[in-house]
Amino acid sequence: MADHISLDQKKILEQKAQRRAELRNEFLKQQSNPYRHAQGSGGTIFDKGIQRYQALKTLGYDHFKPTPKTALNGLLILVIPMVTFGYFLKKSRDAQEQMFRSGQVAYKDRKNKFI
């Protein structure tokens, strides 16, 4: 597999590995800093990538615009499954209640009973 990599791809992979090593070394340097608690940062390391991700997740709700596509997604993901489940649950409970009332199931054979 390594034989089929072009020089450009190899150069890109080496740059990525070098960048990863630099970021790892910077993180380890900050993590092992014994004076980090005294600098007022609370002992945590500020990560720009995590901060951007959290800001993106938070601000996504501020920039949400309802469209027919999002309404359809809401119906397909939330409303229709809940209504379908409720319908089948009510149908099975009604059939069970009808069996209880008609005497097809004895009281001693019921699952939920008081005694």
Q: What is the model's pLDDT at position 5?
A: 85
CA distance 77 to 71: 10
Q: Which helix (H) or strand (E) holds 48?
A: helix 48-59
Q: What is the model's pLDDT at position 39?
A: 58
Express each pLDDT in 60-93 by its tens digit.
Answer: 888 889 999 999 999 999 999 999 999 999 999 9
Buried/exposed 59-68: b ≥16 CB within 10 Å, e otherwise: eeeeeeeeee
Task: Give the chain's mean pLDDT.
Answer: 87
**Domain spans, the chain:** 1-64, 68-101
Give the CA diameter of the chain: 82
